[in-house]
Structure 1
Amino acid sequence: MKKFLALALALVMTASLAACGNDATPPAGSGSGSGGETASSYKVAMITDYGDITDQSFNQTTYEACKAFCEANSIQFNYYKPNGDTTAERVAMVDAAVADGYNVIVMPGYAFGGTIVEAAPQNPDVKFVALDVGEGDLLDPAVTAKGETYDWTPANWTLSDYVDLSNVYCAVYQEELCGYMAGYAAVKLGYDHLGFLGGMAVPAVVRYGYGYVQGADAAAGETSAKVTMEYVYGNQFFGDGDITAYMDTWYKTMGVQAVFACGGGIYTSAAEAAAKVDGAKVIGVDTDQAAIIDAYGADMTVTSAMKGLAPTVDTLLGEIILNDNWSAYAGKIQTLGLVSGDDPAANYVQIPMESTQWGDGFSQDDYKALVSKMYSGEVKVSSDIGAEPAVTNITVNYYGNIK
């Protein structure tokens, strides 16, 4: 229950179906929230998106968290990998898991929006936990055929008109907060020419980037450093020769020292380019990416702006299986952020204690002090993505899309 209370405090924004009301703080588990199931009646399956459980990112983190929870609580667990990167392939894996008797299905990543729309209503007795799937993902144009005959203006529809989330819980994250931490840390550690390489300019990526800008600006104001930031989107979630060449220019010609590579596999282009320049750095995203980035060059990773996938899995499976409290979560999309000002590792957005390259300019104690100020509200970070963040201490050059 301690973890559940932490999660409840983390709900800084809730988008719930009309039928579920607007209560952003679920009640404590009462033992009768989801029909009286016992732990022994549950079987947990995880579906990978388009990667594998060894990707050192979303899939691996989610898989390891599910596996650890289930082993600790004697719950049957398995994972299913789609044969391709399509909604149809992911739905097929949901069907396979259900046919095998799995009744709690965990899905990591925005790519599962279409899967939820198609599979959840067909399996009303299955509980779906979706990580990093927001309202925009559930309205993917590929699955909105209804839009051809329906007026989708905001005044005339709600999410419940289109998506049945009655057996679904979606967690999304305050990316701007961990983006802020990463930008703040980079400047405090002495980097004064930064880059941001986003994937596609979807809301989550933009929040990361705008938080990064705000953090760098705040740190520059405290240090009086003259900081320049280059800012661009690749317009895709993978690296390639064109994007690597663009990063070559940043590192080799323009003198960029550290690039926050934010968006699926696009980090490969930043890392490939950084590997060609002595001392060039990369900042990871979503999970602690030091292991995969440092494979391109020793100590290449400054830090990573992380989402707390493992704590989310642990909390939700505990609430569903151990506390029988599914009713507090079903039908909701909840945004998770800071839950502790004293323990950064307890938060749902953070930078890693283990792999961040701490230094005299920014130590673990400095990080803890920053988190405390963010949690108390002394440091405020805007989540607005409607306009570029106002800056007073750094210069930001926005280049739009590479492709």
Structure 2
Amino acid sequence: MKKAIAIALAIMLIATSLVGCNSKTPGTDSGKDTGKDTGKSKGYEIALITDKGNIDDKSFNQGSWEGVVEFAEKENISHTYIKPEEASDAGYLAAIDLAVQGGAKVIVTPGFLFEVPVHEAQTKYPEVKFILLDGAPHEADSFDPDIKENVASILYAEEQSGYLAGYAAVKDGMTHLGFMGGMAVPAVQAFGYGYLQGAEDAAEELGLEDGAIKAIYHYTGDFEENDTNKSTAKAMYQEGAEVIFGCGGAVGKSVMSAASEANAKFIGVDVDQRYDSETTITSATKGLAASVISVLEAIYKTESWADFGGKSTVFDAKNDGVGLPTTVIGDEKADAFDRFKSFDKAQYEELFGRLKGGEIEVKRSIEVKDPSGNATADELTSQLDLKKVTVTTR
């Protein structure tokens, strides 16, 4: 009886969320948001399941959802998002179950936390197409990818985006950098490794002495906005950091707050965070919305699902899947590089062209002994070939 009541309450909660979110209400034949059920409920066709964060996290969930909304509204397709009851494999699977019960034919899952749940769901629901961002399905006790034909595994070259950010910061004259990652998972690690390599190459081009660039490197162990993370960022700024690359979802909000108080700079991640704080000089972005739209177009418009289904597809500089923002939303004449002192769009485009053409190679991973994934200063220095950059970990 308790289990039945719990299930009923869960379904009622999701039904409520469908009316409250900015998506098309299930049951509207037109697919437009009427704000009420017409009595001809047919459910929603595209559903996004959020991870630990919220739909307005200024990061992965939001960027992915924006892609769903842009495509679905243009094509007049019903859509919604669901926030799981709990951030666990069981919680994510329960949310997927509810999405399918609601009629979802396509389910978007943003983040590596969905790798194990999607591995189970891909077999349980072979008629449903899954778009798994930033990961590949695998069993709980194995990291070997097992991607069925109904799953599109989308990956990003985070190391390239991080490289561009680190290079830009040093080219702009900054010599004391900070990095605050969330958990030391592959995507976050790649951002950080690229950041250090970009700083190293820029320092080399500028002819700086060995050790001229100082970098404080830290993983928070979470993806949260909290006082602890703000205090850590505040301490890094007090120790001389001119800019901190906040790479951990809502962790960035803590860094922004500390940057404002310290009159310092911040580098965003995943999506353009320029609009969230005057301290944001740029953001190491992934084409989250663009990649979601690309796969949805393959499903609904070009009938080319085979280009994505059953395999991993990497979005990188070659297909404009990563980069720094080059435009300001709502103002075509604005300069997206106006928060730098000297680094400009022309320099960026020249650098991006070299990265896109394969002239620049960026390491994505290194050998880390600690099971947590937290690299030591020696591991970072030796394996990333750092000479101009001196790293301190905390």
Q: What TM-score bracket applies, with the shorter chain setting the length?
A: 0.7 to 0.9
CA contact (8 A) 1:199 1:266 kept: yes
Q: CA deviation at 1:378?
A: 2.2
Q: CA deviation at 1:166?
A: 3.0
Instruction: For 1:47 and 1:384, locate their aligned partners in 2 and report how far apart those are by CA, in whole Å.
Output: 28
Instruction: For 1:82 and 1:243, locate their aligned partners in 2 and report how far apart those are by CA, in whole Å.
Output: 25
Identity percentage of aligned residues: 37
Correspondence for 1:318 among 280, 297, 303? 297
Correspondence for 1:337 among 296, 305, 316? 316
User: Does residue 175 of structure 1 match 2:158?
Assistant: yes
CA contact (8 A) 2:337 2:343 kept: no
CA contact (8 A) 1:70 1:77 kept: yes
Change (3 A) 1:351 1:329: same
Structure 1 letter corresponding to 2:364: S
CA contact (8 A) 1:358 1:364 kept: no
Q: Deviations over 1:329-387 (max 9, x none)?
A: 222122220225xxxxxx10011123444545211111111111111222222223225
Instruction: For 1:134 and 1:209, locate their aligned partners in 2 and report how far apart those are by CA, in whole Å.
Output: 21
Instruction: For 2:69 and 2:233, locate their aligned partners in 1 and report how far apart those are by CA, in whole Å.
Output: 38
Instruction: For 1:165 and 1:58, locate their aligned partners in 2 and report how far apart those are by CA, in whole Å.
Output: 24
Q: Deviations over 1:79-128 (max 9, x none)?
A: 22223322222222221221222211111112212320232211010010
Q: CA deviation at 1:44?
A: 1.8
CA contact (8 A) 1:304 1:356 kept: no
CA contact (8 A) 2:131 2:153 kept: yes
Instruction: Provide the aligned C-alpha RMSD in A.
Output: 2.3
User: Does residue 238 of structure 1 match 2:224?
Assistant: yes
Alignment of 1:42-121 (within 5 A): 43-121=45-123
SS at match of 2:283: strand
The residue that corresponds to 2:261 in the other structure is 276
CA contact (8 A) 2:167 2:198 kept: yes
Q: How many residues align?
A: 327
Instruction: For 2:254 and 2:340, locate their aligned partners in 1 and report how far apart those are by CA, in whole Å.
Output: 27
The residue that corresponds to 1:32 in the other structure is none
SS at match of 1:92: helix
Instruction: For 1:265 and 1:54, locate their aligned partners in 2 and report how far apart those are by CA, in whole Å.
Output: 10
**Which sections of structure 2, spanning at least 5 residues, go unmatched?**
1-43, 329-335, 368-378
Greater RCO (Cα-Cα under 8 Å, separation 6 or more): 1
Quick check: 266-275 or 314-323, which moved more? 266-275
User: Does residue 214 of structure 1 match 2:197?
Assistant: yes
The residue that corresponds to 1:9 in the other structure is none
The residue that corresponds to 2:26 in the other structure is none
CA contact (8 A) 2:57 2:250 kept: no
CA contact (8 A) 1:169 1:331 kept: yes
Instruction: For 1:50 and 1:356, locate their aligned partners in 2 and report how far apart those are by CA, in whole Å.
Output: 32
CA contact (8 A) 2:181 2:219 kept: yes
Instruction: For 2:222 and 2:83, locate their aligned partners in 1 and report how far apart those are by CA, in whole Å.
Output: 23
Change (3 A) 1:357 1:227: farther
Structure 1 letter corresponding to 2:191: Y
SS at match of 1:398: strand
Correspondence for 2:359 among 359, 378, 391? 378
Instruction: For 2:215 and 2:249, locate their aligned partners in 1 and report how far apart those are by CA, in whole Å.
Output: 21
Structure 2 letter corresponding to 1:282: F
The residue that corresponds to 2:14 in the other structure is none
Alignment of 1:152-171 (within 5 A): 158-160=144-146, 165-171=148-154
